[in-house]
């Protein structure tokens, strides 16, 4: 579970006085605690759920970083980028676009999809197989390109 690792990493970051790492780790810890205490959740959350939470944190920060970059706020952009780097350490390695394209091509041929009308079926299979290894937006674009 990521929770125990995060606690240890926070202690190390505090001792090293690494503020950037500490911010990212605290964001992860806060998001995991929030998920644990939400109504209807068990005591512990699954590793799959933890990965989804971390992906959401990275996605939020990327969106914020893009906005800050457009507005010329390099100071805030740098903060978001540092947190993305820290959070990404706990996510599985992202696949290269060429590898994702090959996997999607295989999924399309195995599912027998031939037109854009079957995009939903292909997306379901692709998201299941590529969960945590590729960005959902990129998967959607690649599926649309290959089916279109």
Name the DSSP letter for residue 114.
Answer: -
Q: Is the pLDDT of residue 132 over 80?
A: no
Contact assessment for residue 27 and residue 12, using Cβ atoms and an 8 Å cutoff: no
pTM of the model: 0.75
Mean of pLDDT values over 61-90: 94
Percent of the chain past pLDDT 90, that is, above it, reads: 43
**Which pLDDT belongs to residue 80?**
95
- Token pair of 8 as six digits: 């240890």
**Which pLDDT belongs to residue 68?**
96
* CB burial of residue 11 (10 Å; 0-12, 13-18, 19+): exposed
Residues 6 or more apart from 3 whose CB is under 8 A from it? 29, 32, 50
User: Where are the extended beta strands (E) located within the chain?
Assistant: none
Could you give the CA distance from residue 55 to residue 53 in angstroms, rounded to a whole number? 5
């Amino acid at each position: 579970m990521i929770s125990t690792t995060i606690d240890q990493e926070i202690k190390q970051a505090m001792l090293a006085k690494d503020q950037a790492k500490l911010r990212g780790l605290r964001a992860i810890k806060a998001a995991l605690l929030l998920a644990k205490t939400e109504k209807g959740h068990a005591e512990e959350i699954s590793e799959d759920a933890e990965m989804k939470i971390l992906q959401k944190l990275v996605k939020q920060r990327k969106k914020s970083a893009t906005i800050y970059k457009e507005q010329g706020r390099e100071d805030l952009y740098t903060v978001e980028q540092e947190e993305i780097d820290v959070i990404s350490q706990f996510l599985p390695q992202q696949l290269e676009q060429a590898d994702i394209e090959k996997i999607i091509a295989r999924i399309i041929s195995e599912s027998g999809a031939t037109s854009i009308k079957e995009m939903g079926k292909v997306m379901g299979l692709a998201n299941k197989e590529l969960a945590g290894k590729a960005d959902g937006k990129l998967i959607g674009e690649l599926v649309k390109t290959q089916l279109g």
